[in-house]
Amino acid sequence: MTADSLPTAFDLASRQREISVAEFFLKNRHLLGFDSGAKALLTTVKEAVDNALDACEEAGILPEIRIEVKPIPHADDVFVVVVEDNGPGIVESQLSRIFGKLLYGSKFHKLAQSRGQQGMGISAAGMYAQLTTGKPLHVLSRVAGQTRATELYVSIDTAKNRPEMHKKQQVKWNRRHGTRVEAELQGYYQKGPHSIDMYLNQTAIANPHVTLRFENPNDEKLRFIRSVSELPAPPVSVKPHPHGVELGMLIQMLNNTHCRTLLPFLEQEFSRVGRKTARAIIAQAGNRLSARSYPRHIARAQAQALYHAMQEVPVSAPRTDCLVPIGEKQLEAGLRKELKAEFYTVVTRPAAVYRGNPFQVEVAIAYGRPGGVGLEVAADGHIHKAARQRQAAKEEATDASARLLRFANRVPLLYEPGACAITKAVMQTNWRAYGLRQSKGALPIAPMIIMVHIASVWVPFTSEAKEAVAGYAEILKELKLGLQACGRRLASHLRQTRRLQQEYDKRTHIEKHLPQIGNALQDILQLSDTARDKAMSNLDKSLHRRRKIR
Amino acid sequence: MTADSLPTAFDLASRQREISVAEFFLKNRHLLGFDSGAKALLTTVKEAVDNALDACEEAGILPEIRIEVKPIPHADDVFVVVVEDNGPGIVESQLSRIFGKLLYGSKFHKLAQSRGQQGMGISAAGMYAQLTTGKPLHVLSRVAGQTRATELYVSIDTAKNRPEMHKKQQVKWNRRHGTRVEAELQGYYQKGPHSIDMYLNQTAIANPHVTLRFENPNDEKLRFIRSVSELPAPPVSVKPHPHGVELGMLIQMLNNTHCRTLLPFLEQEFSRVGRKTARAIIAQAGNRLSARSYPRHIARAQAQALYHAMQEVPVSAPRTDCLVPIGEKQLEAGLRKELKAEFYTVVTRPAAVYRGNPFQVEVAIAYGRPGGVGLEVAADGHIHKAARQRQAAKEEATDASARLLRFANRVPLLYEPGACAITKAVMQTNWRAYGLRQSKGALPIAPMIIMVHIASVWVPFTSEAKEAVAGYAEILKELKLGLQACGRRLASHLRQTRRLQQEYDKRTHIEKHLPQIGNALQDILQLSDTARDKAMSNLDKSLHRRRKIR
């Protein structure tokens, strides 16, 4: 190749092009969770179910969701996925864009907790279906009060990130309101920790108000019926908190506001800023700023002063009614229903903030197998051996690590544990301090399930597939505090269990020698046999009574 | 809240909105590598340097790059980053979009190896600068042959993902061609494994044809001067391989092609398909398809048949001239220059394919500290003790894991080792088989550096920050084969070293007893002292000669 044939700056310029976001994610589809057949099938179900749950809850409807995954006969690895909900339905004008355009949705621009946040998932599933089978998504939706449902076949024009409608018509549907989406895609159905079955099981734990019915490719019917018939409180949408705003964002807000002067701008566009705080911020900023400054005319240096003043003036902590944790009671109920154990404890941490976004951590622990150490304290103070003791002891001797269940905004996270802040927090917690075995930097070794939930108006996921939580320092800190609180309670339970065992051993020893003591006393005090037996029985009782078990 | 106040489907519909890709990544900026100050500073340098290297190489220019990172006086944690190259320059009409629009570039749509591939990095750095300091990017670029350079201040209108120009003018610049970009951003400068210094050091190892000059915030001047003055061969841009195309992509290609009939479509739009193969594919497809079928009129069922035929008809393996590995010689030279060790080995695997994308793996190992076991075989067969032996032995006794350097398309990957297929492949390799210590699922314990490079027309990163490679099965397999090949060579070196040590011990033993043997022989054979000494000297030599070291 000679120097003349090398491209010039002009040649290079002619190759510059805009990249559509759909093309980008089609090429990078592992970023959205479509890198293998098994994951593609799970992700498709997950995105459709998450959307269904969000829609039901937003409209105040107790969710009932039917999921079906069936192999297509005579087609290798091709499945049809159906997810049908009893939600409010989607109006016709929005249908094609919701299912046929990436980065389109209602949840991105508001600060409120929801499962979806990107406006990508279900359209990406459609794009993957189209890529692997060439078939468009088949959608059916009926809005309450309308006589008919809208039926739509839609795919994505990836070069333009635009919906392509193939057929749209009004049809009868016996559901009064709801949405049904059907996709045909290449995939692989598997059991185990990454399965659709597991995802639905864990969804039921974190959402005790939801009923899920699943028919899997093996023709098994799984049912998760709600244990709570009240919806969680609807999360409130909030404004940004002044302490979490960055300079560039402030400049942008100043340019885009509808407020004509600075004082109402501060009051209306920020959370926790009243008249008094707003005036304090303006006074602190100085730089010729006043309550009547026109936001769009504020210069960069003034904006910078305003920004610093917003950080310095004390403002109440962010509102937390935008967050809906599962709640200690509900979480324990959900855990008890799906997992049998000997000891349960749940901690809901107070809300905290990362980069201005409120979030809240919940941790639950289910320890030991049912039956546990197998010792029970009776009402009279006697300790009894329960059945199954030997069995349980044998199981406990195994070297299995604790199982970790991760959740974000009530959605189970099944993939990428290694990249997740939750896993890191569990591994960095010193479980030996709570009486468990643990190798350095590993999960504790115990017959235990640790469940961790993080609720936030914006969960910082490590990728668009929403499989792992990014390790912001504030989040790691809250996670650890929650784990430690649960750990201390577990430690107290384990100490008690151990005391019980020691006490039991001691008493067994005493009881063994009581008859000899009785005989000796009888000789010394010259008692009758009846008097001796009575004295011994009293002694026995008082021994049990005095050595109270906490 | 009463039922009436709950939102209806129409209320929900009114909240649906398009999300700009810039807004999306501003909110998700950890996805682009801007989640902490330290990372933001590194990512900014990295994106600018990667672009500079790509531009120079594409235009056939040996890259000379100057990097400067300086703290802004009296501003906490604010730095100015300057990256200046001797590349071909960027024509004026493209400048604003290249630096002020996400998903805009020349590398996404072609299948050829390059550092950048997304058209996001440098604009994202600009967006982050703007967010944290409010300042636009300052760009200067001069195209060879033009009398003046273009100076531009540009930021991003994030709500629309569009460049916002603040000032543009023609200025004098003493460079004949090149580009200079300057950003002012909040950040944190650190030393260590995630530092800019380390990134540049590793860039020099993988790019021995590059000269880098870095002035860091501590006023230290680092220089990495090229050791090779020839550019790597320019990678050739390829068409997709028929075995790597998915059905949906084929349908899209049929719709978008400029070819009027099927036969030229197959020949021109695919790699490795000639007239004969194209005819074979059409015959195999059947379904009334012929060489003259009009691509846009091909029905879905026909496309499916065509797709299956493309998989079934044998086609030569993908072209590999789209890949430019570093090369065994260059890689070893680079390693030797930057890292002193006792043993080096490099393996470049043949090219392979994942999802239709050619890729190639290179593995290098540098083992042991200089001096090593400290034994040398002299020309006469004698083994000598080298200096520093005790020192080296002491160092080897430490329990440190091997250090792993990861590269993708010649770019060092410093973050997210745990999420990376390269790390997984190293951990899953059985290093005990090669004579090293290793805990299960961990890095081997040895005084060793493992360097792994993957070159591909499309590296599947686990996030847009391009920090870790996704674990496609084909990639993991190639990585392991490369590691095993290096491992076997290392094992042979270690065996030889051990033999040398044993041999040395034996000879020392023999030499110790030779005088006694000499005296005994003198007595038995009644030799003179001279004859005895001569016989002993011959015996010593022949012993050394016979026990040859392999």
pLDDT digits (tens, 9 = 90+) for B241-271: 888 888 888 888 898 899 999 999 999 999 8
How many C-beta atoms surround the C-beta of residue A386 within 10 A?
Answer: 12
Kindly list the residues from chain A whose CB atom is less than 8 angstroms away from the CB atom of residue B27.
Answer: 108, 458
pLDDT beyond 80 at B193: yes
Alpha-carbon gap: B490 to the closest alpha carbon of chain A (Å): 30
Dist CA B238 CA B356 (whole Å): 11
pLDDT tens, A459-497? Answer: 999 888 899 999 889 999 999 999 999 999 999 999 988
Q: Which of B3, B19, B98 sits opposite A60 (nearest CB)?
A: B3
Nearest CB to A463 within list B6, B31, B304: B31
pLDDT at position B375 over 80: no
Amino acid letter, residue B237: S
**What is the per-residue pLDDT across A349-402, written as a single tens digit (0 to 9) for each?**
998 888 878 899 999 999 986 555 556 656 665 666 655 544 444 445 567 889
SS3 content of chain A, % helix, strand, coil (to 5): 40, 20, 35
Q: Which amino acid is located at A457 in the chain?
A: V
Residues of chain B contacting A24 with CB distance shorter than 8 Å = 103, 108, 118
Closest residue in B to A28 (Cα) is B460
Q: How far is the alpha carbon of A280 from chain B, nearest alpha carbon, in Å? A: 23
The amino acid at residue A496 is Q
Which residues is B277 bridged to in the sheet?
Answer: none
Compute CA distances A541 → A504, A507, A546, B16, whole Å: 15, 11, 9, 73
Nearest residue of B to residue A158, measured between CA atoms: B252
**Chain B contact probe: residue of A19, A31, A186 with most B CBs at under 10 A:** A19
Give the closest of B28, B106, B246 to A132, CB-based. Answer: B246
Q: Which of A35-39, A352-356, A416-420, A421-425 has the lowest mean pLDDT?
A: A352-356
Q: Measure in Å the smallest separation between the Cα of B470 and chain A Cα atoms.
A: 8
Q: Minimal Cα–Cα distance from B313 to chain A, Å?
A: 19
d(CA A406, CA A364): 11
How many CB atoms lie under 10 A from the CB of residue A449? 18
Query: How close is the nearest chain A Cα to the Cα of B77, in Å?
Result: 14
Classified as helix, coil or strand, A483 is helix
Cβ-Cβ contacts under 8 Å for B231 (sequence gap 6 or more):
B57, B60, B61, B62, B209
Cβ–Cβ gap B177/A94 under 8 Å:
no
pLDDT per residue over B138-164, tens digit each?
999 999 889 999 999 999 998 899 999
User: A460 with A469: CB under 8 angstroms?
Assistant: yes
Q: Within 10 A of B250 (CB to CB), how many other CB atoms are there?
A: 22
pLDDT at B386: 58
Question: How high is the pLDDT of residue B46?
Answer: 95
The mean pLDDT of chain A is: 87
Global pTM? Answer: 0.82
- Taking the CA of residue B7 and the nearest CA in chain A, the distance in Å comes to 5
Are the C-beta atoms of residues A52 and A85 closer than 8 Å to each other? yes
Q: A462–B18: do the CB atoms touch at under 8 Å? A: no
3-state secondary structure B89-100: CCCHHHHHHHHH
Give me the pLDDT at residue A394, please.
47
Q: Which tokens belong to A102? A: 């990436």
What angle (nearest 5°) sits at the alpha carbon of residue B327, between those of residues B322 and B328?
150
What pLDDT, in 10s, does the model give residues A53-112? 999 999 999 999 999 999 998 877 899 999 999 999 999 999 999 999 988 888 877 777
> Count of alpha carbons within 13 Å of B324, Cβ hemisphere only?
21
Does the beta-carbon distance from A16 to B94 stay under 8 Å? yes
Of A533 and B197, the one with more pLDDT? B197
Q: pLDDT tens digits, residue range B292-318? A: 999 999 988 899 899 999 989 999 888
Minimum-distance CB partner of B118 among A24, A133, A419? A24
Q: Which helix (H) or strand (E) holds B525?
A: helix B473-525
The more confident residue out of B231 and A391 is: B231
Neighbours of A129 (CB within 10 A): 29
DSSP A349: P
Tokens of B377: 């075989």
Burial A100-110 (b: 16+ CB within 10 A, else e): bbbbbbbbbeb
Radius of gyration of chain B measured on its C-alpha atoms: 31
CB A499 within 8 A of CB A383: no
d(CA A121, CA A102): 8
Residue of B nearest to A30 (CA): B462
Q: Which among B383, B375, B386, B373 is positioned nearest to B545, based on CA atoms?
A: B383
Q: Which residue has the tokens 């201040």?
A: B153
Question: Which conformational region is residue B85 in: left (phi greater than 0), alpha (psi within -120 to 50 degrees), or beta?
Answer: beta
pLDDT score at A68:
97
Residue of A nearest to B15 (CA): A106
pLDDT value, residue A3: 45
Query: Choosing among B76, B162, B194, B252, which should be mutated to test the A contact, i.e. which has the most A CBs within 10 A?
Result: B252
Contact A19 B470 (CB under 8 A): no
- In our burial notation (b when 16+ CB lie closer than 10 A, e otherwise), range B424-437 reads bbbbebebeebbbe
Nearest to B18 among A104, A127, A158 (CB): A104
DSSP string for A243-254: GG--HHHHHHHH
Chain B closest CA to A352's CA: distance in Å?
Answer: 18
Q: CB count, 10 Å around CB of B366? A: 25
- Name which of B351, B307, B346 is nearest B328 in CA terms: B346
- List of residues 6+ apart from B236 with CB closer than 8 A: B112, B319, B321, B322
* Cα of B1 to nearest chain A Cα, Å: 9
Query: Which of A276, A486, A260 has the alpha carbon at shortest distance from A367?
Result: A486
pLDDT band at residue B389 using 50, 70 and 90 as cut-offs:
very low
Q: What angle do CA B88, B90, B93 make, to 5 degrees?
A: 150
Residues of A in contact with B108 (CB under 8 A): 17, 19, 23-24, 27
Pairing label, strands B221-224, B178-186 = unpaired
Chain A residues with beta carbon closer than 8 angstroms to that of B7: 58-59, 88
Distance, in Å, from the CA atom of A337 to the CA atom of A328, rounded to the nearest integer, reads 14
Distance from CA of B392 to the nearest CA of A (A): 29
Count Cβ neighbours within 10 Å for each residue of A466-501 and write b for 16 or more, e otherwise: bbbbbbbeebbebbbbbbbbbbebbeebbeebeebe
Residue A303: name the closest of B229, B133, B2, B491 by CA: B133
Greatest alpha-carbon span in chain A: 124
Q: Between A9, A16, A58, which is nearest B104 by CB?
A: A16
Percent of chain B with pLDDT over 90: 51
Close Cβ partners of B159 (under 8 Å, ≥ 6 residues apart): A252, A256, B20, B22, B23
Q: How many beta carbons lie within 10 A of that of residue B514, not counting itself? A: 15
User: pLDDT tens across A426-464, in order?
Assistant: 999 999 999 999 887 789 988 899 999 999 988 999 888
Mean pLDDT for A213-221 is 95
For B12, which of A12, A106, A134 is closest by C-beta distance? A106
Reading the block at residue B231, the tokens are 């550019």
Amino acid at B75: A
Beta strands B375-377; B78-85: pairing state: unpaired
Q: Has residue B384 got a pLDDT over 60? A: yes
Measured CA to CA, the distance from residue B58 to residue A13 in angstroms comes to 12
> Residue A382: what pLDDT?
64
The string of pLDDT tens digits covering residues B85-119 is 999 999 999 999 999 998 888 887 777 788 888 88
Radius of gyration of chain A (CA): 31
CB contact under 8 A, A19 and B109: yes
pLDDT band with cut points at 50, 70 and 90 for residue B502: confident
Residue A453, H or E segment: strand A448-456
Sequence-separated (6 or more) residues with CB below 8 Å from residue B156:
B22, B100, B101, B102, B123, B126, B127, B130, B162, B163, B164
DSSP designation for A499: H
Tokens representing B341 are 């060790």
- Residue B337: other Cβ atoms inside 10 A: 14
β-pairing, A383-385 vs A375-377, is antiparallel
The answer to whether A158 contacts B131, with C-beta atoms less than 8 Å apart, is: no
* Cβ <8 Å between B98 and A16: yes
Strand partners, A43: none
| Model confidence at B168: pLDDT above 60 | yes
Q: Tell me whether residues B464 and A110 touch, CB distance under 8 A.
A: no
Chain A partners of B470 at a C-beta cutoff of 8 Å? 30, 35
Side-chain-side CA neighbours of residue A116 (13 Å): 31
> A186 — phi, psi (to 5°)?
-75, 140
* B132·A303 Cβ contact <8 A: no
Q: Degrees (nearest 5) of the Cα angle B412, B416, B422? A: 65
